[in-house]
């Protein structure tokens, strides 16, 4: 711990302990927006492979990946990644051969992560003088030991599940001295500490355990953001963080009513958030916000008021014009939305994009009658339509739906939020494809303003954005030239 404090101190950070929150990371110097606060390689990580797509165990890339010929479980993109993983995979490969072929389906990412966790610990501690995998201040098992497990808050059913999972790990490792109770507790640790590893566009690629990053607590109004560069976790400040302030990231999707966010945090991370946004629960402002994000629209098309339930009248009443919407009417449309949405999701999963697009359009039409114009559900439907039309290379329709989501993004993701930056980026790419050069310059600039803070400027992803902006600017000035000369 002293060593870790020293290493963090050099970076302008320190670990403190607060009575209600446990450990937290405190800035001991000022951080400016976009500045990297801390970065870490995973202690262990696994890609989330499906039968349709396999990823390299090390870089999570999916190009030219080949299966390990011995275990048939792990994939590599080439010899460089295979070599980088060899010290650990050599023993993992042997262990994986302990499971019979028909049991391979039980080898979930969590089980694999746990097996790797124990193997890595062994390789780091077995030969004290000269361990197979050397340890560093930020790469050692004692950091994993220090993580919270919240064992006392877990229900009986979950405990049974963890015990079964521990048995499977035992079956794979076959270590006579394996402590099954500790394995079960470690599953609980993984559940509330492991991070989902995403690409630059926030699409999930796998799971990893980053014990130093795990010290950072959650806020629904975070001052920092966690983005992955390959497997490396990078935390950057999204606003000025003055010396003495706690560094906080968001563990969950921050768009959502306080109730929804609290529920998500309780279910997965087993704590109640007491951030400034959550402290407003039940206050007028918070009730209004929930009614807009997740509630219904006024019966009068032109009214933007929000509705609250009046149990006596069995109706929802518009808080602006007083108009009532019958509970029955709302229920009817809501159940129709549910039926069509399920159908739409099914046709999307089966790859029938044409059918899915017309079903989602029906959902959108129904939701326009049901939900507030700034509703997140309506936004998600339009988001799905945008993606489907992008898959169909129908840029015009895709841009139409992308633009409809922007005002909701502006509300739901204020400040330097990567989601809003990424949506502007998509908007700019679609405008560029459709020859709307000047609009694309504007959208790329808006994307850059946000993403340079959240993503830095050095990754291939950001270099591509900068290149696209330059290209669009060049074409925009070329297009403007003849007009200038005419004057
Ligand atoms: Zn690779
Ligand atoms: Zn293997
Ligand atoms: Zn909160
Ligand atoms: Zn109204």
**Domains parsed from the chain with CATH numbers:** 1-41+210-281 (2.170.270.10), 42-195 (no CATH), 287-405 (1.25.40.10), 413-487 (1.25.40.10)
* Angle CA 460–35–258, to nearest 5: 95
User: Residue 224 Cα, ligand 3 centroid: separation in angstroms?
Assistant: 14
User: Residue 386 Cα, ligand 4 centroid: separation in angstroms?
Assistant: 29
Distance, in Å, from the CA atom of 443 to the CA atom of 457, rounded to the nearest integer, reads: 17
Three-state DSSP class for residue 392:
coil
DSSP category for residue 286: H
Distance, in Å, from the CA atom of 341 to the CA atom of 345, rounded to the nearest integer, reads: 6
Q: Which ligand is nearest to the CA of 91?
A: 2
User: pLDDT 10s per residue in the chain (487 long)?
Assistant: 789 999 999 999 999 998 888 899 999 999 999 999 999 999 999 999 777 789 999 999 999 999 999 998 999 999 999 999 999 999 999 999 888 888 888 899 999 999 999 999 999 998 878 889 999 999 999 999 999 888 888 899 999 999 999 999 999 999 999 999 999 999 999 999 999 999 999 999 999 999 999 999 999 999 999 999 999 999 999 999 999 999 999 999 999 999 999 999 999 898 899 999 999 999 999 999 999 999 999 999 999 999 999 988 789 999 999 999 999 999 999 999 999 999 999 999 999 999 999 999 999 999 999 999 999 999 999 999 999 999 999 999 999 999 999 999 999 999 999 999 999 999 999 999 999 999 999 999 999 999 999 999 999 999 999 999 999 999 988 877 765 555 4
Residue 413 contacts residue 256 (beta carbons within 8 Å): no
User: Residue 210 Cα, ligand 3 centroid: separation in angstroms?
Assistant: 22
Q: Which ligand is nearest to the CA of 219?
A: 3
Q: Which ligand is nearest to the CA of 317?
A: 4
> Which protein residues have their CB within 5 A of the ion that is ligand 4?
298, 300, 303, 305, 318, 320-321, 323
User: Residue 325 Cα, ligand 4 centroid: separation in angstroms?
Assistant: 10
User: Residue 279 Cα, ligand 3 centroid: separation in angstroms?
Assistant: 7
User: Residue 55 Cα, ligand 1 centroid: separation in angstroms?
Assistant: 8
User: Residue 4 Cα, ligand 4 centroid: separation in angstroms?
Assistant: 57
Q: Which ligand is nearest to the CA of 82?
A: 1
Give pTM, 2 decimals.
0.93
Paired tokens of 407: 């005002």
User: Residue 69 Cα, ligand 2 centroid: separation in angstroms?
Assistant: 6
User: Residue 324 Cα, ligand 4 centroid: separation in angstroms?
Assistant: 8
Q: Up-side HSE of residue 7: CA atoms within 13 Å toward CB?
A: 12
Residue 298 contacts residue 304 (beta carbons within 8 Å): yes
Residue 173: φ, ψ to 5°: -75, -40
Give all strands of the β-sheet with 315-318 in edge-to-edge order.
307-310, 315-318, 324-326
């Amino acid at each position: 711990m002293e060593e870790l404090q020293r290493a963090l101190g050099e970076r302008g950070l320190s670990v403190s302990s607060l009575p209600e929150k446990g450990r937290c990371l405190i800035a001991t110097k000022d951080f400016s927006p976009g500045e990297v606060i801390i970065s870490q390689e995973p202690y262990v990580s696994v890609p989330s492979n499906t039968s349709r797509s396999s990823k390299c165990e090390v870089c999570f890339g999916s190009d030219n990946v080949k299966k390990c010929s011995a275990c048939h479980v792990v994939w590599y993109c080439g010899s460089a990644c295979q070599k980088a993983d060899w010290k650990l995979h050599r023993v993992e490969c042997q262990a994986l051969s302990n499971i019979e072929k028909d049991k391979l389906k039980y080898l979930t990412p969590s089980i694999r992560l746990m097996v790797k966790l124990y193997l890595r610990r062994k390789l780091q501690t077995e030969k004290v003088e000269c361990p197979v995998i050397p340890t560093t201040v930020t790469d050692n098992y004692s950091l994993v030991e220090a993580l919270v497990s919240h064992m006392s808050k877990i229900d009986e059913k979950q405990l049974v599940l963890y015990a079964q999972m521990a048995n499977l790990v035992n079956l794979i490792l076959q270590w006579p001295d394996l402590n099954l109770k500790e394995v079960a507790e470690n599953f609980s640790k993984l559940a509330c500490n492991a991070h989902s590893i995403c690409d630059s566009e926030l699409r999930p690629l796998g799971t990893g355990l980053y014990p130093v990053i795990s010290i950072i607590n959650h806020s629904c109004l975070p001052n920092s953001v966690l983005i992955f560069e390959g497997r490396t976790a990078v935390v950057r400040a999204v606003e000025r963080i003055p010396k003495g302030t706690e560094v906080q990231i968001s563990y969950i999707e921050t768009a959502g009513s306080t109730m929804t966010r609290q529920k998500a945090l309780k279910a997965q991370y087993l704590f109640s958030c007491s951030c400034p946004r959550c402290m407003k629960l039940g206050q007028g402002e918070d009730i209004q916000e929930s009614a807009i994000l997740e509630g219904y629209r006024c019966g009068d098309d032109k009214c933007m008021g929000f509705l609250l339930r009046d149990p006596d009248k069995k109706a929802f009443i518009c808080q602006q014009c007083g108009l009532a919407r019958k509970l029955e009417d709302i229920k009817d449309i809501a159940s129709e939305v549910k039926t069509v949405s399920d159908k739409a999701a099914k046709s999307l999963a089966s790859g029938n994009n044409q059918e899915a697009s017309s079903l989602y359009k029906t959902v959108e039409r129904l939701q326009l009658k049901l939900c507030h114009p700034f509703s997140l559900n309506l936004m998600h439907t339009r988001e799905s339509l945008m993606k489907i039309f992008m898959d169909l290379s129908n840029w015009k329709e895709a841009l139409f739906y992308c633009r409809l989501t922007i005002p909701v993004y502006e509300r739901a993701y204020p400040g330097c939020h990567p989601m809003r930056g990424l949506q502007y980026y998509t908007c700019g790419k679609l405008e560029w494809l459709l020859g709307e050069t000047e609009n694309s310059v504007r959208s790329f600039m808006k994307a850059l303003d946000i993403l340079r803070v959240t993503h830095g400027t050095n990754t291939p992803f950001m270099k591509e954005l900068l290149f696209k902006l330059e290209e669009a600017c060049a074409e925009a000035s070329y297009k403007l030239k003849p007009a200038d000369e005419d004057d």
